[in-house]
Structure 1
Amino acid sequence: MEIAIILILALVGVLIFVNRHSQSGGNRTLPNQKVSDGKPSLTTSLAPRKEQSPRFDADNAIPAPIATVLKGSAYVVDGDTIVIQKTQVRLFGVDAPEINHPYGKKAKWALVSLCKGHAVKAEITAKDNHGRTVAKCYLEDGRDLSAEMVKLGLAIDWQKYSGGVYRALELPGARKKLWLADARQKGRMKVWEQYDAKQTALNQKQ
């Protein structure tokens, strides 16, 4: 009888031990295992972050610069306009007579003579109100075409655009000779209108 009681107590002890061991084993965590407390956890990746390339900003993008120098043979349009590489270029800082104005054809052929046989280098400065490219134009020997035309008395300085750099090169009486160009610089376009009307009337009589 005593032996039976001892065996029963031993069996009960074994069962209690096994039960406690299984419960404690279920709550064990591995060394690298995180215990969740029910709240979302923030984890930091050890991998290097990939930098995002900036988005293209069309509104603030700067366009690629256009060519600032043209060089080549020149086709002469009139006394202050040439064409280089299919680009119409106006001589910087001077004003020559229009082709149909007094001395207009003479100015054109003087510029033809200057450019003939030379490559002309045009250093672009701006665009004028007519969309023409304005440039300082030089011959291969360094001569400034604007200055040369003024020295020939077939163009006058246009101070509004040149700052007066060619005024000292003007021949005496050049502004009286090129009076229509002078009138344009002074904003007296009515003089042009009167001249053009007179020329039209003369052509109609012929």
Structure 2
Amino acid sequence: MELLFVALVVVGFAMLNSRNVKRTQKTIPLKTMPPDEQVHPASKPVAPPKVEAQPEPFDEPTSKPAPPETVLVGSAWVIDGDTIKIGSTQIRLFGVDAPELDHPYGKKAKWALHSLCKGQEVRAEVTDIDEYGRVVARCYLSDGRDLSAEMVRQGLALDWPKFSDGKYSDLEVEGVRKKLFLAAARQKGHMGVWKRFEENQKAGS
């Protein structure tokens, strides 16, 4: 009987204690964010993937092709009053302007240059390439004479200050710019003079 009594006391005490624990438990509400601050997981901003900067494409500078050689030496084939050929290379005489073949004094200028070069070895010291792809060079005869200077002295070419810095201007003969008026017009950019001349030539032919 004593054991049964003790067991009942223990069970009763346990039940009383269980009720007290339930009474002391409180429901603690979860802290929530205001509706305008709540962010659904699917709508969270996603940082864009990092893209490595691509190097800028390399642009090679636009430039004229380099002359094939610095110095050309050999017999010259005369094309017109300011242009020759050595081997396969066409060469423009440095710093001067002679008339075109179909312009007044054009053929005379060609044959004057031919006479200078005939039987001579010409040395062409390359300085540039012009807009037409021709090599530009200071050209000398075997005796040291400058072909550009010789053509200006003969009144069959003009100094071209834009390219020569006036190197041959003192060699120009009196009245040569009126005589070679089409070459003079080209230097000033007055190409309308050429057009009128060509139209007159066609009308008279």
SS in 2 for 1:100: coil
Q: CA deviation at 1:101?
A: 0.2
Distance in structure 2 (CA, Å) of the matches to 1:67 and 1:88: 12
1:11-160 counterparts in 2 under 5 A?
A: 66-160=68-162
Match for residue 178 of structure 1? 180
* 1:68-104: CA deviation from partner (whole Å, max 9, x where unpaired): 0001000000000000011000000000000000000
* Larger Rg, first or second structure (1 or 2): 2
8 Å CA contact 2:67, 2:126 repeated in 1: no
> Do the aligned partners of residues 174 and 64 (structure 1) sit closer, same or farther apart at CA in structure 2, a change above 3 Å counting?
closer
Distance in structure 2 (CA, Å) of the matches to 1:180 and 1:65: 29
Point out the more displaced range, 194-203 or 87-96. Answer: 194-203
> Do the aligned partners of residues 113 and 64 (structure 1) sit closer, same or farther apart at CA in structure 2, a change above 3 Å counting?
closer
Please, what is the CA RMSD of the aligned residues? 1.7
SS in 2 for 1:107: helix
- Counterpart of 1:119, as a letter, is E
> Do the aligned partners of residues 198 and 124 (structure 1) sit closer, same or farther apart at CA in structure 2, a change above 3 Å counting?
same
SS in 1 for 2:126: strand
Point out the more displaced range, 97-106 or 194-203. Answer: 194-203
SS in 2 for 1:195: helix
* 1:38-88: CA deviation from partner (whole Å, max 9, x where unpaired): xxxxxxxxxxxxxxxxxxxxx79xx99841000100000000000001100
Identity of counterpart residues, as a percentage? 65
Distance in structure 1 (CA, Å) of the matches to 2:163 and 2:98: 14
TM-score, length of structure 2 as denominator length: 0.67
Distance in structure 2 (CA, Å) of the matches to 1:65 and 1:106: 29
Give unmatched runs, 5+ long, in structure 1.
1-58
Match for residue 44 of structure 1? none
> Do the aligned partners of residues 177 and 67 (structure 1) sit closer, same or farther apart at CA in structure 2, a change above 3 Å counting?
same
Distance in structure 1 (CA, Å) of the matches to 2:66 and 2:82: 29
Distance in structure 2 (CA, Å) of the matches to 1:155 and 1:181: 8
- Counterpart of 2:199, as a letter, is A
Q: How many residues align?
A: 143
Give unmatched runs, 5+ long, in structure 2.
1-59
8 Å CA contact 2:140, 2:147 repeated in 1: yes
- Counterpart of 2:126, as a letter, is I
TM-score, length of structure 1 as denominator length: 0.67
Q: 4+ runs of 1 displaced by more than 4 Å? A: none
> Do the aligned partners of residues 176 and 83 (structure 1) sit closer, same or farther apart at CA in structure 2, a change above 3 Å counting?
same
Match for residue 45 of structure 2? none
